């Protein structure tokens, strides 16, 4: 322990998400000394933000911060929680929310599908899979 940290109490930052966004968990975390609640915008829709903040503030006085790293594009729900993609496979990516499989899946935010152009590359799962857009229509691409 250095002289700079001697006698200081560590601060606890806690991310609230779907599994912890309830009165019991928020209250218990406050009792345990959480100093700051974090909302991860990668997993919170912007249209739900005001309601999420109000929900937390109605249950605690612990300050809230937003992690705005939410610019990452996410896939929609997937059958069995994952999809196995074969090399050189053709996939359709759609803007409307669907439960994805090895042939078709959706992206969030939905508007992103119409922003892509033929030739664009999409890195999936932090470079585990690399997709290239070869065809586009309104609301989907291949």
Closest CA to 93 of 136, 38, 127: 136
Please state the rounded mean pLDDT for residues 114-118.
Answer: 88
Q: Where do you find CATH 2.40.33.10 in the chain? A: 74-141
Please state the rounded mean pLDDT for residues 101-124.
Answer: 87
The CATH label, of 3.20.20.70, 2.130.10.10, 2.40.33.10, 3.40.50.2300, for the domain at 74-141 is 2.40.33.10
Residue 19 pLDDT exceeds 70: yes
- Distance CA(97)–CA(104), nearest Å, equals 11
Residues 56 and 16: beta-carbon distance below 8 Å: yes
Please state the rounded mean pLDDT for residues 15-19.
Answer: 88
Q: What is the tens place of the pLDDT at every residue in 41-79?
A: 877 888 899 999 999 999 999 999 998 764 567 788 899
Residue 41 is predicted with a pLDDT of 81
pTM above 0.75, yes or no: no
Could you say which DSSP state residue 77 is in?
Answer: -
């Amino acid at each position: 322990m250095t002289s700079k940290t001697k006698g200081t109490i560590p601060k606890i930052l806690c991310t609230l998400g779907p599994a912890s966004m309830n009165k019991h968990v928020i209250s218990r975390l406050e009792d345990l000394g959480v100093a700051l609640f974090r909302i991860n915008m990668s997993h919170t829709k912007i249209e739900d933000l005001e309601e999420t903040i109000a929900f937390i503030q109605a249950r605690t006085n612990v300050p809230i911060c937003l992690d705005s790293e939410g610019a990452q594009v996410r896939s929609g729900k997937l059958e069995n929680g994952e999809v196995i993609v074969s090399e050189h496979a053709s996939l359709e990516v759609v803007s409307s929310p669907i439960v994805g499989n090895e042939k078709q899946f959706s992206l969030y935010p939905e508007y992103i599908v119409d922003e892509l152009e033929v030739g664009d590359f999409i890195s999936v799962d932090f470079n585990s899979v690399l997709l290239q857009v070869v065809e586009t229509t309104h609301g989907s691409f291949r």
